[in-house]
Structure 1
Amino acid sequence: MVKDERVVAFIVARLSSSRLPNKHLKTIGDRRMIDWTIHFIKQVKYLDDIVIATVDEEDNRPLIDVAKEHKVKLFWYRGEVSDVVGRLTKAAIEFEADIPILVSGDCPLIWPETVTKRIEKISTNKELDYVGFCKKDGQYPIHSSVGVYRRRCWELADRLSDKPNLREHHFPVVGLRSDLFKIDCIECEDIFYKVNHRISVDTLADLEFMNAVFDGLKSKGKAFDLKNSVELLIEKPELMQINADVHQIRIDEKPKKALFRLNSEENAELFFDLAYHLTKKGVGVRFYSTDKGVLELIRNKGYGIARDLDGFDFEIVDR
């Protein structure tokens, strides 16, 4: 099984995220988020290669060292930075992936067993283009964003994705034009259908949630993984309130960006609090300052720093 096909996992990562810059390098418990992602994906069977797929931006250079540290490959895309579809399709061609696995780098709680099962399913039926998860009682299971495809699926999706919003996300055209693709699914263990909650990390609130889960499991002497996390959330549903109101950006939404210009540390906490809530509503936030003390404070809070004042929808000035 799978012996005649190359299976390659592509971890999608950019460190210039507008809501949580450097998010892949943020710490969850005792590891960076990308360390957890690689840790779990390495447990998937049949993989011939693991590749961090990133973009030609100065911000992403730390990922070169991450790849070396974990002894995985790196794909440095020199096309449009927001063209996720183009980046992944070109990476799949370059690494000769017959079965490319899309791994969202901001969803660390990967359950390797279900990824393996989907690889087995697509490899035994070469007519399939994509294998996802089946609904049960009208609900999808709680799972990290990992997709199992055939390369021809990505290549066709690349040709069909003729609008920016179709190229900026993880192959949405496959679902929108399902008549053109052969799609199947697998059912998961019952426990994964018992909780419906976001487990991607796009904001500081999401990061706080993940660390609360890690701490809760550590206090019980349990490993940080998806099944243990779901069991904890069933026991302590109040943890889900930490990031329950984080907005998942739709493919038809125009990105919103806000700039906070801080001239001093006075009232900075008020602006940090506002930025925290704006990011939960889907707004990308950057801070601008020429004061070294303020810049250090912004970095310690985990927010991004704007190099200039261009390209933002509105500006708030602290005088």
Structure 2
Amino acid sequence: MNLAILQARMTSTRLPGKVLKSINNQPMLLFQIKRIMKSTKIDKLIVATTIEKEDDIIVELCEKNNISFFRGSLENVLDRFYQAALKYNPENIIRLTGDCPLIDPEIIDKVITQHILNGNDYTSNCITPTYPDGMDVEVLTFETLKKLIINADRQSHREHVTLYINENKDKFKMENVFNTEDLSDIRLTVDEAEDLQLIRIIYSEMKYKDDFNLDDVIRLLRKRGNLLEINKFFKRNEGLEKSLKNETTERRC
């Protein structure tokens, strides 16, 4: 089984409640789920949220739309991820995050295919990013996830599920999936209000359909170059950098 786990919570520090922000009067998370379900390689999708009261609304959305969900720890995301997968005992797990409403199912399938074809422990398109921020896909075997649960002992490892892998590359068979063109400077994720503004414009231009792909988005952005000015000031992986900085400060104290 290829199990997709979509992490989603309401308590984002930069843009609280972002996963349920409205796009054409529908929650952003639903737009993303519809796109993920177009993948031909995913057998099951589960939303992994937290046990916090703020995330009751995510559970309500899942129940209303017949979407499987799991509730776990807010801070120990690695454990939440593991516990969500445990019930299904999958061969491979596809890690996705709820701030990527333009995720391309063709890219998801490409990463999964490479992972299985080459017998990798971990396969991703963001070890060395060449896709836009917001197109991130990570695939790992369940056996690899079990190793993370045993060996990932730092707070940053528990907060960022696959960080241990990227800091211990010699211990895993890894592969990065590259795009044909380096588009890593384009930002299609949602962490800030400006990000959401851009995403709403893109969906409007796409008539709120879910059958467009990354190439369609890039053509739009190149046709209307001013759109890229909306959120160009934000850095990729700011959350991870902040987590590592805080951890370093704590160790010094």
- TM-score calculated relative to the size of structure 1: 0.69
For residue 81 of structure 2, give the secondary structure of its aligned residue in structure 1. Answer: helix
Instruction: Name which of 127, 130, 133 aligns with 2:125.
Output: 133
| More strand, by proportion | 1
| More helix, by proportion | 2
> How many angstroms does 1:114 deviate by?
1.9
Unaligned runs of 5+ in 2: 248-253
> How many angstroms does 1:53 deviate by?
0.3
- Relative to structure 1, is the Cα distance of residues 186 and 173 closer, same or farther in structure 2, using a 3 angstrom cutoff? same
- Relative to structure 1, is the Cα distance of residues 18 and 134 closer, same or farther in structure 2, using a 3 angstrom cutoff? closer
Match of 1:212 in 2: 201
> How many angstroms does 1:44 deviate by?
0.8
> How many angstroms does 1:195 deviate by?
6.1
> How many angstroms does 1:225 deviate by?
4.3
Cα deviations across residues 207-264 of structure 1 (Å, max 9, x unaligned)? Answer: 1121122234449x99664322211112222212211112423141339xxxxxxxxx
- Relative to structure 1, is the Cα distance of residues 201 and 134 closer, same or farther in structure 2, using a 3 angstrom cutoff? closer
> How many angstroms does 1:10 deviate by?
0.5
For residue 193 of structure 1, give the secondary structure of its aligned residue in structure 2. Answer: coil
Match of 2:105 in 1: 112
Instruction: Determine if the alignment matches structure 1 residue 182 to structure 2 residue 173.
Output: yes
> How many angstroms does 1:164 deviate by?
1.1
Q: Which has the higher contact order (CA 8 A, sep 6+)?
A: 2
For residue 246 of structure 2, give the secondary structure of its aligned residue in structure 1. Answer: coil
Instruction: Name which of 170, 191, 207 aligns with 1:202.
Output: 191
Aligned residue identity for 2:13 = S
> How many angstroms does 1:68 deviate by?
2.2
Instruction: Determine if the alignment matches structure 1 residue 228 to structure 2 residue 221.
Output: no
Size of the aligned set, in residue pairs, is: 242
Q: Is the Cα–Cα contact under 8 Å of residues 217 and 232 in structure 1 kept in the other structure?
A: no
Instruction: Name which of 213, 227, 243 aligns with 2:231.
Output: 243
Q: Is the Cα–Cα contact under 8 Å of residues 104 and 144 in structure 1 kept in the other structure?
A: no
Match of 1:11 in 2: 6
- TM-score calculated relative to the size of structure 2: 0.85
Partners in 1 of 2:16 and 2:212 — Cα distance? 23
Q: Is the Cα–Cα contact under 8 Å of residues 99 and 149 in structure 1 kept in the other structure?
A: yes
Partners in 2 of 1:216 and 1:227 — Cα distance? 14
Match of 1:23 in 2: 18
Cα deviations across residues 33-88 of structure 1 (Å, max 9, x unaligned)? Answer: 101111111011132211000110101111222222332211111x3x11111111
Match of 1:151 in 2: 142
Cα deviations across residues 264-307 of structure 1 (Å, max 9, x unaligned)? Answer: xxxxxxxxxxxxxxxxxxxxxxxxxxxxxxxxxxxxxxxxxxxx
RMSD: 2.5
Partners in 2 of 1:141 and 1:158 — Cα distance? 29
> How many angstroms does 1:124 deviate by?
3.2
Aligned residue identity for 1:44 = S
Match of 1:64 in 2: 59
Instruction: Determine if the alignment matches structure 1 residue 122 to structure 2 residue 111.
Output: no
Q: Is the Cα–Cα contact under 8 Å of residues 102 and 147 in structure 1 kept in the other structure?
A: yes
Match of 1:161 in 2: 152
For residue 245 of structure 2, give the secondary structure of its aligned residue in structure 1. Answer: coil
Instruction: Determine if the alignment matches structure 1 residue 35 to structure 2 residue 30.
Output: yes
